[in-house]
Amino acid sequence: MTNLQGYWLSDKPTYRLATCCMFDKAPLDNMNMGTTTKTSALANHRKPLEKAIYNTKKLIEQLTYLSKQPESLRYWRISSEILPCYTVKEINPYYDEIKETLVELLREAGRIAISNRIRLSSHPGQFTVLGSNRAEVVANSIEDLRYHSQIFKWMNIPAREAIINIHLQGLYNGKHIDGIRRFATNFKYLDDYTQQALTVENEDKPNGYDIEHTLELAQLIPIRCMLDVHHYYCHRKGEDYITHTHPYFKEFLKTWYPIRPAMHKSQSKIGGNRMNEHSDEFHDEFFSSLAVPMLEYTDIECELKNKWSGVQKFYSYVQEEEQMSGESLQFKTV
């Protein structure tokens, strides 16, 4: 074994493929979480509280199910909707009514994850923009990041071994360096746990923030880069792709050490209107083949419309590639 760290690593570690937030088919979809709209919550504060209890119990069900799966499939992105409207100022105080129950349930979820080596992550939404030029957006973003941190804290997940991933964003027709500097400045206002858990992802828009920009940010502050290989491809309008030998791939890995890295993978939807529209499954064998050697260096979060079933099919593909080569994937570092 390498000297990488992570509670999910055993004496004979294997790669992890993450399912994002939910199951896509019956009967497993009965374990999916629910949500409550802000309007509904403001009309009746009991609704988000009841849904929060429901969702944390569902998380326990999800992790219990994953604990019985092959180790390579024990990686789960927790839905940001687990505690509905938690950051809504009119609703948040009511959460004190169920805090003791929530903490108990989330501690159990964390116990299941740690004891069964299930890696975990989260992905706050598009409105969490730490590099914004608007003070109220930054304040709301910090509050949202604290919320995600609180979930992992209650689960007893070590900060560096948690993942709270956001996009760099914050360009606003200005220069890339402006958003990078704003992000770096506002990063200082995060608590220590959130700083350690935070990762930053490259964008898909050609005029947006690329992996070179997230790596530039990582030179200013201690943050890990979440490489999205499909975003890299879309950023270049399909004219270039990234491989496990690419210098950017190697530099992304270095930002994670000594934690086992993680990255995102998706493919363009067949017949989709936009290149960045996610496919149901990994249908393109060429791009799937590029990901296999990457698994020796990093775990992969699979962003697919067919959540669990799509991950299972990709897992089968990786196994077939191993069988054809006559060798199992090994853990490597750069």
Where are the alpha helices (H) located in 221-331, listed in sequence order? 229-235, 247-254, 285-294, 307-325
The torsion defined by the Cα of 210, 213, 214 and 219, in degrees rounded to 10, comes to: 160
Q: Model confidence over 258-312: pLDDT tens digits?
A: 999 999 999 887 777 776 777 789 998 999 999 999 999 999 999 999 999 999 9
pLDDT score of 318 more than 80: yes
- The pLDDT value recorded for residue 200 is 98
**Which one has a higher pLDDT value, 173 or 257?**
257
Backbone angles phi, psi at 115, to 5 degrees: -70, -25
- Cα(1)–Cα(278) distance, integer angstroms: 34
| Three-state secondary-structure class, residue 316 | helix
According to DSSP, residue 5 is labeled B
Bridge partners, 211 (sequence order): none
- The pLDDT value recorded for residue 279 is 78
Q: pLDDT band at residue 184, thresholds of 50, 70 and 90?
A: very high
Q: Confirm if 121 and 78 have CB atoms less than 8 A apart.
A: yes
- Cα(18)–Cα(68) distance, integer angstroms: 15
Please state the rounded mean pLDDT for residues 67-77: 98
The sign of the torsion formed by the CA atoms of 77, 323, 13, 105 equals: positive
H helix or E strand, kind and range, residue 262: strand 262-265
The number of C-alpha atoms within 13 Å of 80 and in the hemisphere containing its C-beta is 18
Q: What percent of the chain has pLDDT over 70?
A: 99
Bridge partners, 200 (sequence order): 166, 225
Q: Which residues are CB-neighbours of 219 under 8 A, at least 6 positions away? A: none
Least confident of 178-182, 216-220, 236-240, 322-326: 236-240
Please state the rounded mean pLDDT for residues 201-226: 95
Look up residue 129 and give its amino acid.
V
The sign of the torsion formed by the CA atoms of 36, 37, 43, 49 equals: positive
Please state the rounded mean pLDDT for residues 109-118: 98
- Cα(264)–Cα(273) distance, integer angstroms: 21
- The pLDDT value recorded for residue 3 is 83
Alpha-carbon distance values, 259 to 156, 251, 253, 299 (Å)? 17, 14, 9, 11
Q: pLDDT band at residue 245, thresholds of 50, 70 and 90?
A: very high
- The pLDDT value recorded for residue 297 is 97
Q: What is the mean pLDDT of the chain?
A: 95
Q: What percent of the chain has pLDDT over 90?
A: 86
- The pLDDT value recorded for residue 334 is 84
Q: pLDDT band at residue 2, thresholds of 50, 70 and 90?
A: low
pLDDT score of 237 more than 90: no
pLDDT score of 257 more than 60: yes
Q: Model confidence over 19-59: pLDDT tens digits?
A: 999 999 999 999 999 999 999 999 999 999 999 999 999 99
The residue behind tokens 């403001």 is: 42
- The pLDDT value recorded for residue 193 is 98
- The pLDDT value recorded for residue 275 is 66
- Cα(166)–Cα(317) distance, integer angstroms: 29
Structure tokens at 22: 């939910």
Look up residue 192 and give its amino acid.
D
Establish whether the linkage from the previous residue to 258 is cis, with ω within 30° of 0: yes
Q: Confirm if 194 and 229 have CB atoms less than 8 A apart.
A: no
Q: Model confidence over 89-107: pLDDT tens digits?
A: 999 999 999 999 999 999 9
What ranges do the domains of the chain cover?
227-334
DSSP string computed for 31-56: G------HHHHHH-THHHHHHHHHHH
Q: Model confidence over 117-151: pLDDT tens digits?
A: 999 999 999 999 999 999 999 999 999 999 999 99
Q: pLDDT band at residue 6, thresholds of 50, 70 and 90?
A: very high
For the chain, count helices (H), then strands (E).
Answer: 11, 8
Taking alpha carbons only, the member of 169, 171, 224 closest to residue 194 is: 224
pLDDT score of 1 more than 50: no
